[in-house]
Amino acid sequence: MICSMTGYGAGKARAANATIEVELRSVNGRSRDIRCNFPREFSVLENNVRKLVKKQLSRGQITVFLKYIQGNTDTVPFDKKQICQAVEEFKKLAKSAGLSPEGNLDTLLRFISSNNIAQENISVEKLKTPLMKATAQAIKSHIDSRAKEGAALVKDIKSRIKIIDNKVGAIKKLAPQVVKSYQERIAKRIEQLRKQTGVEFDPVRIITETGIFSERVDITEELIRLKAHIDTFVKTLKKGGVIGKRLDFILQEMFRETTTIGNKCNNAEISGHVVIMKEELERMREQVQNLE
């Protein structure tokens, strides 16, 4: 399986009368960078989460978000016993001060809000198990998201490497014509000069010049190396796994050989193929840099 470095995943678990929600988001990165965006009171559990994420994800800038939501739809999100005790104490205080203890629901709600009387807090250590459960769910859906995008990237990359391979075959067929065309142009030019000047040119010198030109425009080695790089690239794709960096390196080598072919070819048709190859290689590099 080949995964993208960009993805999203979410998980949820219950913890007593609260809910823990974990979200994983990742973007491209040269290595692995895990960041936890947790409420301050949960910071002691960040290392546990990081270790779990490290086991599953190899590359990318990964951010883990944690939400701790107290209460649920079936219960009142306050400690009723604690509230009643507090109200009774304040009634006694009002009477001792000679004040009326009367109030209404609005008074009670303001009292609760201002005094932050919520459910009894759960020990952070007791939250470790549900947090790990929610994190595991988030990682699984995150990997599924990465795999889906990775499959789409690989499909696009395969179509482009096929174009480049076809262009290499076309250039290989055209390469011998470069020297032949040069010989024909030289022979034609010499014949024109002979008619104009009446001077006979040394055929040995003509052969020598043609040989020098042939050496200068020979792209046989570049084509062989480029074909080898294409084969290695395809094999690496089939192997799968964490291959983003390796594919990027192979593409750099392919781009270098393609550039050399363009510089040496001295042929308009080959130059046209080289331009298309460079365009495809550049698009492939953009895609490969998204892969894990």
pLDDT confidence of residue 276? 96
CATH fold, domain 7-73+124-148, is: Ribosomal Protein S5; domain 2 (3.30.230)
* CA proximity to 58, closest of 246, 252, 260, 189: 246
Can you name the residues that pair with 70 across neighbouring β-strands? 18
pLDDT confidence of residue 212? 65
The pair of structure tokens assigned to 161 is 């490497």
List, in order, residues 6 or more apart from 222 with CB less than 8 Å away. Answer: 257, 260, 261, 264
Residue 292 burial class via C-beta count within 10 angstroms: exposed 0-12, middle 13-18, buried 19 and up: buried
Predicted confidence (pLDDT) per residue in 243-285, tens digit: 999 999 999 999 999 999 988 887 889 999 999 999 999 999 9
Task: Examine the pLDDT at 75 and tell me if it is beyond 50.
Answer: no
The pair of structure tokens assigned to 217 is 């425009």
pLDDT confidence of residue 191? 67
pLDDT confidence of residue 25? 95
pLDDT confidence of residue 73? 43
pLDDT confidence of residue 117? 42
pLDDT confidence of residue 195? 72
Look at 54-58, 76-80, 107-111, 243-247 and tell me which has the smallest mean pLDDT.
76-80
Tell me if 234 sits within 8 A of 2, measured CB to CB: no
d(CA 59, CA 26): 9
Task: Examine the pLDDT at 78 and tell me if it is beyond 70.
Answer: no
For the ranges 26-30, 68-72, 155-159, 185-189, the one whose mean pLDDT is highest: 155-159
Q: What are phi and psi of 11, to 5 degrees?
A: -145, 160
For the ranges 55-69, 71-85, 153-167, 264-278, the one whose mean pLDDT is highest: 153-167
Task: Examine the pLDDT at 79 and tell me if it is beyond 50.
Answer: yes
pLDDT confidence of residue 245? 92
pLDDT confidence of residue 194? 67
Predicted confidence (pLDDT) per residue in 196-219, tens digit: 777 676 676 666 766 666 667 688
Residue 56 or 109, more confident: 56
Predicted confidence (pLDDT) per residue in 102-120, tens digit: 766 666 666 655 554 444 4
Tell me if 225 sits within 8 A of 257, measured CB to CB: yes
Q: What is the mean pLDDT of the chain?
A: 84
Look at 37-51, 168-182, 209-223 and tell me which has the smallest mean pLDDT.
209-223
pLDDT confidence of residue 164? 96
Could you give the residue range(s) of every CATH 3.30.230.10 domain in the chain?
7-73+124-148
Residue 197 or 239, more confident: 239
